[in-house]
Amino acid sequence: MATLKREVKIVNRYGLHARPAMMLVELANRYSSKIEVSNGQLTIDAKSIMSVMRLAAVQGTILTITADGKDAEDALASLEKLVQDGFGEMEPADDGPSI
Amino acid sequence: MGTDAGNLAEMRIKKGIGVSPGVAIAPAVVMDTEEFDIPMRHVPVDHAQAELARLVKAADVSKREILDLRARTVERIGQETASIFDFHLGLLEDKVLHQKISDTILGGNVTAEYAVATVLRGYAKEFLGMPQYLAERVKDIYDIEKRLLRNLTGQRHESLAHLTKDVIVLARDLTPSQTAGMDRNHIRGLAIDAGGQTSHTAIVARALGIPAVVGLNDVTAEASAGDSIIIDGTRGVVVIDPDSETLANYEQYAIQQVEFIHSLDALRDLPATTRDGHEITLLGNIEFPSEVRTVLEKGGQGVGLYRTEFLYLGSDVEPTEEDHYKAYCQVLEECQGRPVVIRTLDLGADKYTQSRARVPERNPMLGCRSIRFCLQNLVMFKTQIRAILRAGVGAKVSMMFPLITNLMELRQAKSIVRDVIEDLEEEGIEHRPDMPIGIMVETPSAALQCDAAAKEVDFFSIGTNDLIQYTLAVDRGNEKVASLFSAANPAVLHLLRDVIRSGLRHDVPVSVCGEMAADPLFTMPLLGMGLKTFSCAPPALPEIKKMIRSVTMEQSLQVARKVMNFESDKEVLNFLHAAARKVLPAAWPD
C-alpha cells in the first residue's frame, strides 16, 4: 500500500471557505487512510477543519492530496470529485459564500 | 484579620465609578472572564492531567450546547443559517486542535483556560491575514474560544454559586448569565475593571442592593484571591489590603449604614404620603421576574419599569414569543394585580449587539439602538409586542417605548401595535387591545416636544440616565469626562421640570424611572415640580419612602423653585444636601 497522490484545482468561486472545508473534512473522516493536503507551502491533515482552513485555498489554487491506507484509492477518488464539482457551489452565485 | 493584612501588604486605593452605594468588607474572589486576557497560570505537574480532563469536559458541554442551538435554529430560521454551527462542531471535534491544546497544557503545566486562549488566538491571528471571507471565520474561532472558556470557568463558577463565606467579586467584566447565577447571600460587593454607570453589572448590583464599583481598569491584576477588600460604592473607591485604621473607619461607617437601613424596614407597609397628606406612588424597576418579590418586600406598589433586555442577553438565540409570554406572565402573577410597565427592547449600544453587528457602529450611543433597532427588525419587535398584548389580558399592564426622539417613531411603533392587534384578532388569540401606551422621555428632543407627544400617549416615563447623557453629551463610562455627568446640572433640571409640567397640563401621568428617582437628594425637588410617581431599584425604595414621609409639599415646592435659580451643579448639590439633611439627618451622616 503505497502513498497515492492526486492534484486538484479549486474551481468554485469562494474557494475552501467554511462550508466546503467542512464537506472536505467530513468526507476525509469517512476513510481510515491517513489523508493529507498540501498547497505547496503547507501540508496539513485533511481530517482537521482548522488545518484545512489554514490552507487559505482560494479559487484557482492547486492542491495535492495524498492518501495512505487500505481505502486510499477510494478516498482520493471521492475527494477529487468533491473538489472538481466545486463542492456543489458551481451554479451562479453572486451573494458571497453561504456562511 | 485586617490588622495582620496591614502589616503584610501595602494598602492600595483604587478609584473607579461607584454604581451601587454602600460599603462592604470581605475577602476577594477573582474571576477570569471571556473576551479578556487570560493570565498565564501554572499548575503543579501532577495537576496537568486534571486540566486535560477539564478541557475534555468543557468541549463535551460545548458540543451539546451547539447541537441544541443548531436544532433550535433549524426550527426557527432554517437549515442554511444553522449550518454555521456545523463549522463550530467541526472545530470542537478537530483532533489536531485538541492535540495542540493538550500539548500546550502538558508542555507548560498551564491551565486549560490559558491553553485554549493561546492556541485559538494563535489561529485567529493567522486567519486575519487571509482573504476576507476566510478572515471572517475569526469570529467563529473567537466564538468557540468564548464558549470553551465559559464552560471551563463555568466549573469554577459553580463554587461562586455555592459559597459558604462572604466574598467580594473582582472581575474584568460580568456577563448577564454570570450575574444571574451568583449566590446572592454571600456576594457582598462587586469590583469590576470594565463598565460604566449604565452597564449591566451596575443595574444588577443596584437591584441586589450590593455595593459596586466599576471602571477600575486593572483591579483584577492588582488584587489576588483572598486579599482583604473594602468596597465603597458610594464614593467609588476600592481599597486592597487596608491598614487597620482605614479598616476601622470603614467598619464603623458600615455599621451606621446597616442601622439606618434596618430602621427603614418598619416603613414597608406605610403609605408613601407627605407629611401634609399628598399621596405618592412608589414603584420598582426590575430586570428579572424574580425581582418582583424584592420590590414588594421593600414596599413598592408595582413595577414602573420592567427591562426586557435580559430575555435577549441570557441566551444565544432570540427569545420566542412563548419565552416573552412566560416571563411577562410570571411578573404579573407575582405582582398580584399591581400595575406593571413593560418596556420594549432597549438594546443596541452594548457589547451584545455590537459584537454581533456585521460592521460595529462608530458611535453606538447615537446609532441604531433601542426603538430604532426594533423598527428595523420588525419580526423581532412584533414577537415581543404580541407577547405583551397577550400577557395583558385581565392585568394592569402598560407598554412603553424607549428612546423616542420624534413623533414619527412613536406613530410608527403604535401602528405596529395596531397591526399586531389585527393579527391576533384574525387568529382568534386572546389579547388586550386597549393597553395603555407610553414613551420614555430620555432625549432632549423628546423632552422639548412633550406637549405634542402628550396628545398621543397615555403616560410619560422620564429616563434620567439617558436624558442626562444626551443633554450633557457625556459618556459617564469615560473616566475623563464622567465628572461632568450630573443630574444636578441646571439644564437637566429645566428639562425635567418642563416634562413634568407638560404632563400635568395635559393630564398625562409622568413618572421618573431613572436613577434620579432613587437618589433621596432629588426627592424634594421632584415632588415640588409635581412628580407623583417614582420608580427605582428596589433597595432604594425604603429610603425614598422615608424621604417622602419626612417632607411637606410646601417645603418641596420651595426647594423646587429655588433649585432652578442656580447656575452650576455644585451649587445645586450643596443646596439640595443642606435641604435634605434638614429633614432627614440620619441619611447623611458626617
Inter-chain touch B134–A45, beta carbons under 8 Å: no
Q: How far apart are CA B26 and CA B169, in angstroms?
A: 9
User: Helices B569-583 & B490-506, crossing angle to 10 degrees?
Assistant: 60
| Four-residue CA torsion sign, B525, B531, B535, B539 | positive
Tracing cell 444571574 back to the chain, one arrives at B180
Is a pLDDT exceeding 90 seen at residue B85? no
**B590 within a domain of the structure (yes/no):** no
Chain mean position to CA B103: 40
Q: What is the pLDDT of residue A3?
A: 87
Is a pLDDT exceeding 80 seen at residue A63? yes
A98 to chain B: which residues are within 8 Å by CB?
80, 83
**A97 within a domain of the structure (yes/no):** no
Strands A62-68 and A34-38 turn out to be antiparallel
Which one is predicted more confidently, B363 or B385? B385
Nearest to A49 among B90, B127, B131 (CB): B90
As for how many domains chain B has, the answer is 3
A57 to chain B: which residues are within 8 Å by CB?
none
Q: What is the pLDDT of residue B234?
A: 81
**A99 within a domain of the structure (yes/no):** no
Q: In terms of domains, do B417 and B533 share one?
A: no
Contact B452, B474 (CB under 8 A): no
**A91 within a domain of the structure (yes/no):** no
Q: In terms of domains, do B57 and B206 share one?
A: yes
Is a pLDDT exceeding 90 seen at residue B31? no
- Residues of A at the B interface, defined by Cβ within 8 angstroms: 14-19, 21-22, 25-26, 44-45, 47-51, 53-54, 56, 58, 96-99
Tracing cell 472572564 back to the chain, one arrives at B33
| Interface ipTM | 0.86
Q: In terms of domains, do B275 and B215 share one?
A: no
Q: In terms of domains, do B263 and B174 share one?
A: no
Nearest to B131 among A45, A56, A99 (CB): A56
List B residues 115-154 in contact with A (Cβ-Cβ < 8 A).
123, 126-127, 130-131, 133-134, 137, 140
Range B47-74 burial, b when 16+ CB lie within 10 A, else e = ebeebbebbeebbebbbebbeebbebbe
Q: What is the pLDDT of residue B117?
A: 87
Query: Catalytic: A17?
Result: yes
pLDDT-derived band at B590 (thresholds 50, 70, 90) equals low
Inter-chain touch A50–B134, beta carbons under 8 Å: no
Q: How far apart are CA B538 and CA B494, in angstroms?
A: 27
Q: What is the pLDDT of residue B3?
A: 39
Dihedral angle over CA of A47, A52, A57, A62, nearest 10: -40
Average pLDDT, rounded, for chain B: 86
Inter-chain touch A17–B137, beta carbons under 8 Å: yes
- Phi, psi torsion values for B520, nearest 5 degrees: -60, -20
**Of residues A12, A17, A46, A55, which has the active-site annotation?**
A17
Q: In terms of domains, do B452 and B405 share one?
A: no
Q: What is the pLDDT of residue B5?
A: 39
Chain mean position to CA B116: 30
Contact B275, B549 (CB under 8 A): yes
Helices (H) and strands (E) in chain B, counts: 27, 16
Domain that holds residue A58: 4-85
CB of B45 within 8 Å of a chain A CB? The answer is no
Give me the percent of chain A exceeding a pLDDT of 70.
90
User: Helices B464-472 & B490-506, crossing angle to 10 degrees?
Assistant: 130
pLDDT-derived band at B164 (thresholds 50, 70, 90) equals confident
Q: In terms of domains, do B188 and B293 share one?
A: no
Q: Mean pLDDT, to the nearest integer, of B571-579?
A: 93
User: Quick one: closest CA in B to A95, which residue?
Assistant: B133
Q: Which three cell numbers stand for residue B126?
A: 493567522
Contact B353, B373 (CB under 8 A): yes
Q: Would you call B255 exposed, middle or buried from its count of C-beta atoms within 10 A (0-12, 13-18, 19+)?
A: exposed
What is the CATH number for A49?
3.30.1340.10
Q: How far apart are CA B347 and CA B320, in angstroms?
A: 17
Q: What is the pLDDT of residue B420?
A: 98
Give me the percent of chain B exceeding a pLDDT of 90.
53
Contact B83, B122 (CB under 8 A): no
Nearest to B133 among A17, A25, A49 (CB): A17
**Of residues B335, B374, B450, B513, which has the active-site annotation?**
B513
As for how many domains chain A has, the answer is 1
What is the CATH number for B549?
3.20.20.60
Inter-chain touch A97–B94, beta carbons under 8 Å: no
**A93 within a domain of the structure (yes/no):** no
Task: Identify the weakest region by mean pLDDT among B164-178, B253-267, B318-332.
Answer: B164-178
pLDDT-derived band at B357 (thresholds 50, 70, 90) equals low
Q: How far apart are CA B298 and CA B397, in angstroms?
A: 21
**A29 within a domain of the structure (yes/no):** yes
Q: In terms of domains, do B90 and B75 share one?
A: yes
Identify any residues that bridge with B183 across adjacent strands, giving them in sequence order: none
Q: In terms of domains, do B111 and B226 share one?
A: yes
Q: In terms of domains, do B398 and B459 share one?
A: no
Inter-chain touch B131–A58, beta carbons under 8 Å: yes
B84 to chain A: which residues are within 8 Å by CB?
18, 99
pLDDT-derived band at B283 (thresholds 50, 70, 90) equals very high
**A90 within a domain of the structure (yes/no):** no
Q: In terms of domains, do B305 and B192 share one?
A: no
Query: What are B404-438's pLDDT values in tens digits?
Result: 999 999 999 999 999 999 999 999 999 999 999 99
Q: What is the pLDDT of residue B199?
A: 65
Q: In terms of domains, do B271 and B342 share one?
A: no
Which one is predicted more confidently, B181 or B121? B121
Q: In terms of domains, do B377 and B514 share one?
A: no
Query: What are B169-185's pLDDT values in tens digits?
Result: 998 877 655 665 667 77
Q: What is the pLDDT of residue B408?
A: 97
Is a pLDDT exceeding 70 seen at residue B14? yes
**Of residues B200, B324, B335, B536, which has the active-site annotation?**
B200
Domain that holds residue B343: 285-435
**A21 within a domain of the structure (yes/no):** yes
Inter-chain touch B137–A58, beta carbons under 8 Å: no
